[in-house]
């Protein structure tokens, strides 16, 4: 009897790199079924107690995608049987939402400076 162990990468490397290169993202860690995205923050928006990522996470929850925010870090975990295609769809959407979120924060900052 043979036992085959196969490691299938769930998170698309190109998409992970694209997200990590976004100006609103400080760091990305993808390991197994988990991906953690640390958003770039300043001042009181940084750290464990931050609510910085809450509005971003709320958009996904409205569509049935559950992410765990801890301060300015978003954790997304898929099941081991999730297809890489589903993970790619989530990452593409997440990239778009991060981009939109970053633009909204930039507008807020500009209006505060006026």
CATH code for the domain of 49: 3.90.1150.10
Give the total number of structural domains in the chain.
1
Overall pTM > 0.85: no
- In this predicted structure, the answer to whether residue 79 has a pLDDT above a threshold of 80 is yes
pLDDT of residue 5: 40
Residue 48 lies in a domain: yes
Look at residue 78 and tell me if it is in a domain: yes
Q: pLDDT tens digits for 3-39?
A: 444 445 889 989 999 999 999 999 999 988 999 999 9
CA dihedral 41, 69, 79, 3 (to 10 degrees): 60
Full strand arrangement of the beta sheet holding 73-77: 25-31, 34-39, 73-77, 68-70
């Amino acid at each position: 009897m043979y036992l085959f162990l196969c490691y299938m990468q769930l998170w698309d490397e190109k998409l992970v790199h694209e997200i990590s290169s976004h100006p609103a993202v400080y760091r990305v860690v993808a390991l197994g079924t988990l991906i953690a995205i640390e958003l770039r923050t300043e001042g009181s928006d940084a750290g464990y107690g931050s609510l910085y990522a809450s509005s971003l996470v709320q958009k996904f929850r409205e569509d049935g995608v559950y992410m765990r925010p801890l301060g300015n870090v978003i954790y997304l975990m898929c099941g081991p049987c999730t297809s890489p295609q589903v993970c790619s769809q989530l990452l593409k959407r997440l990239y778009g939402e991060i981009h939109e979120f970053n633009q909204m924060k930039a507008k807020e900052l500009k209006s505060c400076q006026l």
